[in-house]
């Protein structure tokens, strides 16, 4: 396991020698110590990224040349997939099969953006038709510059790939700060990039706290663009800080996503997707469909089947075979989710199942999968993101009521609808105020499709070509091509 910062193609200790502990959430044991970057370390990293962008020629490489590095990184991830997945389990707690899936997705993300990098060469400029034949004009895309990327702990390597891959494909250089509680696989990404021959300074990874290392990235005047995934409260602070220097910002923030199930849906299929939508990754998913709305005609039957299946979920260490629900990521997260459940009870909600630490575990940040009924619409449990394996479920009568309840939220990241009536499903999907909508499913995510939300769920889109555009600026180049002399006076028609 790596323990140092990766800056300018070199491994180095923090300037003050500081380190922080890595804790296995399944056992609560300290398994490693990692360098805690200071503001001085971040300054060195940003200056290295600045030099790699401004002087060393990374943005001047062709898209095809950058694609070779991206594909080499993808190959390096795949060659070590099982090893990296195990690190992810030790660091994050998720079941090993989920971690393997995440690592494979991370490799696929680098491959996808390698292809988009090559397409930049195919479409280097867009001609613009002008009303004045004495001029030609074109629009070109250019990399923004140095990107500061700050990622969360729920999908450590995958979230790094979502930001690093498109940024490098676009020609940007990167300073990445992984979450303090899950930094192990980001450092392995640095090692893989180094082995792939990525030029010094193009990718720099600084581990440490958000209040020190993260804040230093946000405040650094050498950073041109900030890309953040995490809580809305931190996203708001980043947006305010970025305003001082008019930095480009993309934010993927929280959610409280609804899942509307109509009475013509197959109950067993609905239960499977409901469980996938909230219990995958221990419910630590920004898009988790944590508010389930079930039409009155099937509510009681569906709830009974949901409780029956939820109680069968095997809880345990993510490295044990057959485990479907690992521990929450940290003691702090465990305490916050338990506190949210207690607050829901105090507000009048009923715990239909779960709601506590499993009796068979005296160590580890484990929590039983939890289903809450009778949840008041104005309670925090219904309106705020819990970020754990906690589901709120309630009945609805009509399609109009389902849409109204679904949209009654300050968030708008994702939503899902289940019905055998395709016309109704499409109509409800159109009615949802959310950036991602699933029909007859929940949570499938594809690198090719845009990812991001409405309202307080963020700004901008990741993944697909939209993710690449996050790291590109548009430049207009207009040229005077007439042989006629041109005086100082510009006609109003031309100015317009």
Count CB-CB contacts under 10 A for residue 30: 10
State the average pLDDT over residues 347-374: 97
- For residue 128, give every residue at least 6 positions away whose Cβ sits within 8 Å of its Cβ, in sequence order, or none: 137, 138, 139, 476
With 60 as the cut, is the pLDDT of residue 396 above it? yes
Q: Spell out the alpha helix ranges (H) of 246-383.
A: 267-279, 296-310, 331-347, 380-383
Q: Please report which confidence band the pLDDT of residue 122 belongs to, taking 50, 70 and 90 as the band edges.
A: confident
403/12 Cα distance (integer angstroms): 53
Confidence of residue 289 (pLDDT cuts 50, 70, 90): very high
CA dihedral 38, 161, 282, 405 (to 10 degrees): 110
pLDDT at res. 489: 59
Q: Residues 225, 148: contact at Cβ < 8 Å?
A: yes
Tokens matching residue 168: 């490098």
The band of 496, judged by pLDDT with boundaries at 50, 70 and 90, is: very low
Q: With left for phi above 0 and alpha for psi between -120 and 50, is residue 414 left, alpha or beta?
A: beta
pLDDT score of 485: 74
Q: Region 182-192: what's the mean pLDDT?
A: 98
Q: Hey, how many other C-beta atoms are within 10 angstroms of the C-beta on 424?
A: 14
**Cα–Cα distances in angstroms (integers) from residue 495 to residues 130, 137, 184, in the given order:** 12, 14, 55
Q: What are the pLDDT digits (tens) for 189-202?
A: 999 999 999 999 99
- Percent of the chain at pLDDT above 90? 96
| Structure confidence at residue 490 as a pLDDT band (50, 70, 90) | low
- Whole-number Å distance between alpha carbons of 183 and 442: 28
Tell me the two tokens of residue 37. Answer: 């970057």
359 is catalytic: no
Of 154-163, 385-394, 420-429, 484-493, the range with the lowest mean pLDDT is: 484-493
Specify the 3-state DSSP secondary structure of 128: strand
Residue 413 pLDDT > 90: yes
Contact yes or no for 449/109 (Cβ under 8 A): no
Say how many Å lie between the first and final Cα of the chain, rounded. Answer: 60
| pLDDT tens track for 109-118 | 999 999 999 9
The contacts of residue 49 (CB under 8 Å, 6+ apart) are: 146, 173, 174, 175, 201, 202, 204, 222
Six token digits for residue 93: 């707690």
User: How buried is 3 (Cβ within 10 angstroms: 0-12 exposed, 13-18 middle, 19+ buried)?
Assistant: middle
Structure confidence at residue 483 (pLDDT): 86
d(CA 261, CA 292): 8
pLDDT value of position 123:
83
- pLDDT tens figures, 250-281: 999 999 999 999 999 999 999 999 999 999 99
For helices 156-170 and 63-79, the axis angle rounded to 10 degrees is: 160
Per-residue pLDDT at 376 exceeds 60: yes
> What is the per-residue burial (b if ≥16 Cβ within 10 Å, else e) of 179-198?
bbbbbbbbbbbbebbbebeb
Which long-range contacts link 55-60 to residues 24+ away (Cβ below 8 Å)? Answer: 56/199, 56/200, 56/201, 58/171, 58/173, 58/199, 58/201, 58/202, 59/142, 59/143, 59/171, 59/172, 60/171
Residue 141's beta-bridge partner residues? Answer: 474
In which band, very low, low, confident or very high, does the pLDDT at 334 lie, cut at 50, 70 and 90? very high
Q: Does the pLDDT at position 488 exceed 90?
A: no
Evaluate if residue 45 carries a pLDDT over 70. Answer: yes
Residue written as token pair 């056992």? 27
Who contacts 229 (Cβ-Cβ below 8 Å, separation ≥6)?
150, 151, 152, 159, 162, 163, 251, 252, 253, 286
Q: Is the pLDDT of residue 479 over 80?
A: yes
- Using CA atoms, how far residue 193 sits from 27, 160, 470, in Å, is 31, 12, 22
Say if residue 495's pLDDT is above 80.
Answer: no
Calculated CA dihedral for residues 121, 123, 129, 130, nearest 10 degrees: -30
Which residue's entry shows tokens 């991206």? 70
Taking all residues of the chain, what is their mean pLDDT, rounded to a whole number? 96
Query: Of 252, 385, 456, 462, which one is the catalytic site residue?
Result: 252
**Would you state the pLDDT for residue 359?**
94
Got the DSSP string for 369-392? Answer: -EEEES--TTSHHHHS---SSEEE
Tell me the two tokens of residue 332: 């702090």
209 within 8 A of 219, measured Cβ to Cβ: no
DSSP secondary structure letters along 386-423: --SSEEEEEEE-SHHHHHHHHH-SSEESEEEEE-S-HH
The C-alpha torsion from 279 through 283 and 287 to 288, rounded to 10°, is 40
The kind and range of the H/E element at 472 are strand 472-480
What mean pLDDT comes out for the span 121-143? 94
pLDDT classification of 124: cutoffs 50, 70, 90: confident
**Which DSSP string do the residues of 308-322 spell out, in sequence order?**
HHHTT--BS-TTSTT
Distance, in Å, from the CA atom of 272 to the CA atom of 268, rounded to the nearest integer, reads 6
* Residue 376 near residue 349 (C-beta atoms within 8 A): yes
How would residue 484 be classed by pLDDT, with cut points 50, 70 and 90? Answer: confident
Q: Residue 430 — φ and ψ, nearest 5°?
A: -65, -30
Give mean pLDDT, residues 51-70: 98
């Amino acid at each position: 396991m790596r323990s140092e910062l990766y800056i300018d193609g070199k491994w180095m200790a923090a300037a003050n020698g500081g380190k922080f502990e890595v804790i296995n959430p399944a056992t609560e044991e300290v398994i490693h110590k990692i360098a805690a970057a200071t503001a001085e370390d971040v300054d060195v990293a940003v200056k290295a990224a600045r030099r790699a962008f401004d002087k060393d020629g990374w943005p001047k490489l062709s898209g095809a040349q950058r694609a070779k590095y991206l594909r080499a990184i993808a190959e390096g991830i795949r060659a070590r997939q099982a090893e990296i997945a195990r690190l992810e389990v030790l660091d994050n707690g998720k079941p090993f099969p989920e971690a393997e899936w995440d690592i494979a997705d991370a490799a696929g993300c680098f491959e996808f953006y390698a292809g988009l990098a090559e397409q930049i060469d195919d479409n280097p400029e867009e001609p613009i038709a002008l009303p004045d034949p004495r001029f030609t004009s074109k629009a070109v895309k250019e990399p923004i510059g140095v990107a500061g990327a700050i990622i969360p702990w729920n999908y450590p390597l995958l979230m790094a790939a979502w930001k690093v891959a498109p940024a490098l494909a676009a020609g940007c250089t990167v300073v990445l700060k992984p979450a303090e509680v899950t930094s192990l696989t980001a450092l392995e990404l640095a090692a893989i990039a180094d082995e792939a021959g990525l030029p010094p300074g193009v990718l720099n990874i600084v581990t440490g706290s958000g209040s020190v290392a993260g804040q230093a990235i946000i405040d650094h005047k050498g950073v041109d663009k900030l890309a953040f995934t995490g809580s809305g409260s931190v996203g708001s602070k980043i947006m305010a800080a970025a305003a001082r220097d008019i930095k480009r910002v993309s934010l993927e923030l929280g959610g409280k996503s609804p899942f509307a199930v109509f009475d013509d849906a197959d109950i067993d299929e609905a239960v499977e997707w409901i469980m996938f939508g909230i219990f995958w990754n221990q419910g630590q998913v920004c898009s988790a469909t944590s508010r389930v709305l079930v039409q009155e005609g099937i509510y009681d039957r569906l709830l009974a089947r949901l409780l029956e299946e939820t109680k069968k979920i095997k809880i345990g260490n993510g490295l044990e075979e057959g485990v479907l629900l690992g521990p929450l990521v940290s003691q702090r997260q465990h305490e916050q989710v338990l506190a949210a459940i207690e607050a829901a009870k105090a507000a009048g909600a009923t715990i239909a199942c779960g709601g506590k630490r499993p009796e068979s575990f005296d160590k580890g940040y484990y929590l039983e999968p939890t289903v809450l009924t009778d949840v008041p619409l104005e309670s925090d449990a219904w309106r705020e993101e819990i970020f754990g394996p906690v589901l709120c479920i309630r009945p609805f009568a009509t399609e109009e009521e389902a849409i109204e309840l679904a949209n009654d939220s300050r968030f708008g990241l994702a939503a899902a609808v289940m019905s055998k009536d395709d016309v109704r499903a499409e109509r409800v999907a159109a009615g949802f105020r959310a950036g991602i909508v699933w029909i007859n499913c929940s949570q499938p995510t594809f690198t090719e499709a845009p990812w991001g939300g409405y309202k307080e769920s963020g700004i901008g889109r990741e993944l697909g070509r939209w993710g690449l555009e996050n790291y590109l600026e548009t430049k207009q180049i207009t040229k005077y091509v007439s042989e006629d002399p041109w005086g100082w006076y510009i006609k109003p028609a031309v100015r317009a």
